[in-house]
Amino acid sequence: MWVGALVVVLIVVAVGARPLAVRLWLAGLISDRALFIASVARFPAIVLAFGLILRVPLPLLLLLTSLSLVPGLLFSRVVHDAIQKRPTRR
Using an 8 Å Cβ cutoff, are 41 and 72 in contact? yes
Q: Considering only CA atoms, which of 42, 49, 43 is closest in space to residue 10?
A: 49
Q: How much of the chain exceeds pLDDT 90, in percent?
A: 22
Provide the whole-model pTM.
0.73
Residue-wise pLDDT for 45-79, tens only, equals 889 988 998 899 999 999 999 999 998 888 888 88
- Helix (H), strand (E), coil (C) string for 12-81: HHHHHHHHHHHHHHHCCCCCHHHHHHHHHHHHHHHHHHHHHHCCCCHHHHHHHHHHHHHHHHHCHHHHHH
Chain mean pLDDT for the chain: 85
Domain ranges of the chain: 2-85
pLDDT reading at 86 higher than 80: no
